């Protein structure tokens, strides 16, 4: 069988370089079965498709009442620093002259910041970030064809960082929305925006992760797309030309892009924008609990196969949760039949529930599950935390060896203290050393349950510990002021 001329020359060249053995050696199996290398993606059609829908947003503020001497930092550069609370290096930001106040005392509009946005509808509704428009006296929207319009804020939601603005224009090209559930890690994505005011800048990368928990109400999309000040509010686009997110945040230690950026999932953003367009505000549900993550150690001690659910650390008085019978120390496992994998899932589920709706919750209490019914209320501004009132020093109660072996000195809880803590009973920790101290128990804590058993006196604590298997960890449910806390005490063997 003859060998083509070109292959003969290649074989001779290999023989001269590697020796005769190389001609006889078979190719590695991996090389024989390796798939063909795909070409890099071409974003040109996507730019043509989505580019006409992406806008530049400039924010202005009045200079009245400002010191006219000196200069002000360039706001395009400072938009990033303001957003993420990064200290401004001395001399690192160029400075521009400030405008003098006008003769009418109102002052002239001066640049404040820059951002991006994209068209929602042909009649001029535009989506962007809430932090882009926050505090602005005026908004100027520039379309890709260089037309400029003054814009008004229809509504902004700081919890999700979504805002909708309106310009008086028609015939605009709205974007198409993609399905976030179809988005896959490793998928190519593209961003269009105005970093540092450079309009219609295109950057690309891949989806690095999904469901990143960086906020109470949003699981973010993480990418390595280059995002800089001014990109905020611009679209994140898949390879089908569909918007699947709003570029909102970056992670940085230096103040510049470091390969990690976050986008708001478009399904959440659209839901919020629809409410903003309809009413100008977003209505969310609340039940009035303070929650924490369930640790693996606590889950094991309570008989949970996995560290799931939301640990209730406190219940607001007269709240929907209090009326439903939720208690500090409960672990909420399900809300409306949906499992709670992480504690942050609960505020998202409750927040997306219409106020006035009746929902069911599955809670774990003292080792047993129970169903509770709660009427969801509308969320209110957060109230400042209150400190528990000081109580007289309790008198230690006599205890046996089991309590002392854990390093606990206990005192009976007065009826007034129990009423103040809104507990049916318990026993106060008058002193703590040894294993209990290592587990995080503090003097002044109130033990309300031991090993999933309610206790109301030092004798009851001693009785429960006497029945426990020696040398095994013991779970204590504590009240510390208004908050509940689990401690897993491991006795020394």
CB within 8 Å of 28: residues ≥ 6 apart = none
Residue with tokens 């945040």: 249
* Residue 131: active-site member: yes
DSSP state, residue 276: H
Contact in structure between 286 and 378 (CB atoms under 8 Å): yes
Contact in structure between 88 and 76 (CB atoms under 8 Å): no
Q: Considering 63, 76, 157, 161, which one is annotated as catalytic?
A: 161
* Residue 345: active-site member: no
Contact in structure between 475 and 464 (CB atoms under 8 Å): no
* Residue 405 annotated as lining a ligand binding site: no
Q: Considering 131, 208, 248, 273, which one is annotated as catalytic?
A: 131
Residue with tokens 């992480």: 342
CB within 8 Å of 235: residues ≥ 6 apart = 50, 53, 54, 118, 175, 191, 192, 193, 243, 245, 246, 247
Residue from 222, 208, 179, 241 nearest 54 by CA: 241
Gyration radius of the chain's alpha carbons? 31
Give pairs for 143-146: CB < 8 Å, separation 24+. Answer: 143/55, 143/169, 143/172, 144/51, 144/52, 144/54, 144/55, 144/199, 144/200, 145/52
Residue with tokens 């809880």: 413
Q: Round to whole Å and give the CA distance between 202 and 444.
A: 59
Q: Round to whole Å and give the CA distance between 362 and 85.
A: 39
User: Per the structure block, which two tokens stand in for 304?
Assistant: 């949970």
Give how far Cα 46 sits from Cα of 55, 175, 192, 235, 269, Å. Answer: 16, 11, 10, 12, 21
* Residue 113 annotated as lining a ligand binding site: no
Residue from 321, 316, 310 nearest 287 by CA: 321
User: Per the structure block, which two tokens stand in for 363?
Assistant: 């809670």
* Residue 161: active-site member: yes
What is 98-120 written as a DSSP string?
PPPPPTTSS--EEEEEEEEEEES
Q: Considering 194, 208, 232, 273, which one is annotated as catalytic?
A: 232
489 strand-pairing partners? 474
Q: Round to whole Å and give the CA distance between 224 and 439.
A: 41
* Residue 131 annotated as lining a ligand binding site: yes
Active site members? 131, 161, 232
Residues of the binding site for substrate: 131, 161, 230-232
């Amino acid at each position: 069988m003859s060998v083509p001329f070109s292959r003969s020359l290649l074989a001779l060249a290999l023989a001269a370089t590697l020796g005769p053995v190389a001609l006889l050696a078979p190719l590695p199996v991996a090389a024989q079965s390796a798939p063909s290398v795909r070409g890099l993606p071409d974003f040109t059609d996507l730019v043509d498709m989505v580019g006409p829908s992406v806008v530049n947003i400039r924010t202005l503020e009045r200079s009245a009442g400002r010191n006219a001497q000196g200069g002000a930092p360039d706001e395009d550069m400072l938009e990033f620093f303001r957003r993420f609370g990064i200290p401004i290096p001395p001399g690192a930001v160029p400075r521009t002259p400030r405008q003098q106040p006008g003769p009418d005392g109102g002052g002239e509009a001066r640049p404040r910041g820059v951002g991006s946005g994209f068209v929602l509808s042909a009649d001029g509704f535009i989506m962007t970030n809430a932090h882009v428009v926050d505090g602005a006296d005026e908004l100027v929207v520039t379309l890709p064809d260089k037309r400029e319009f003054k814009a008004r804020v229809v509504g902004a939601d700081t919890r999700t960082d979504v805002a909708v603005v309106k310009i008086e224009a028609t015939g605009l090209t709205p974007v198409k929305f993609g399905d976030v559930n179809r988005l896959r890690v490793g998928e190519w994505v593209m961003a269009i925006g105005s970093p540092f005011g450079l309009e219609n800048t295109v950057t690309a990368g891949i989806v690095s992760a999904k469901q990143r928990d960086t906020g109470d109400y949003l699981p973010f999309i993480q990418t390595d797309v280059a995002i800089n000040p001014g990109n905020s509010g611009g679209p994140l686009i898949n390879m089908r030309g569909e918007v699947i997110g709003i570029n909102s945040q970056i992670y940085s230690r230096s103040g510049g892009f470091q390969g990690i950026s976050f986008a708001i999932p478009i399904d959440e953003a659209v839901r919020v924008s629809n409410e903003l367009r309809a009413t100008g505000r977003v209505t969310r549900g609340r039940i009035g609990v303070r929650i924490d993550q369930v640790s693996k150690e606590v889950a094991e001690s309570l008989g949970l196969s996995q560290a799931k659910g939301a640990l209730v650390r406190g219940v607001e008085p007269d709240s929907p949760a209090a009326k439903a019978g939720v208690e500090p120390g409960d672990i909420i496992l399900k809300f409306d039949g949906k499992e709670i994998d992480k504690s942050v899932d609960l505020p998202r589920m409750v927040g997306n529930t219409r106020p006035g709706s009746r929902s069911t919750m599955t809670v774990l209490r003292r080792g047993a599950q129970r169903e509770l019914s709660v009427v969801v209320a509308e969320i209110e501004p957060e109230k400042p935390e209150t400190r528990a009132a000081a109580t007289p020093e309790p008198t230690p109660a006599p205890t046996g060896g089991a309590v002392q072996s854990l390093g606990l000195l206990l005192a009976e809880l007065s009826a007034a203290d129990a009423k103040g803590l809104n507990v049916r009973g318990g026993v106060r920790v008058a002193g703590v050393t040894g294993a209990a101290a290592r587990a995080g128990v503090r003097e002044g804590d109130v033990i309300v349950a031991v090993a999933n058993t309610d206790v109301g006196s030092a004798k009851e604590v001693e009785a429960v510990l006497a029945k426990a298997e020696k040398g095994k960890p013991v779970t204590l449910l504590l009240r510390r002021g208004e908050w509940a806390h689990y401690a897993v005490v491991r006795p020394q063997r």
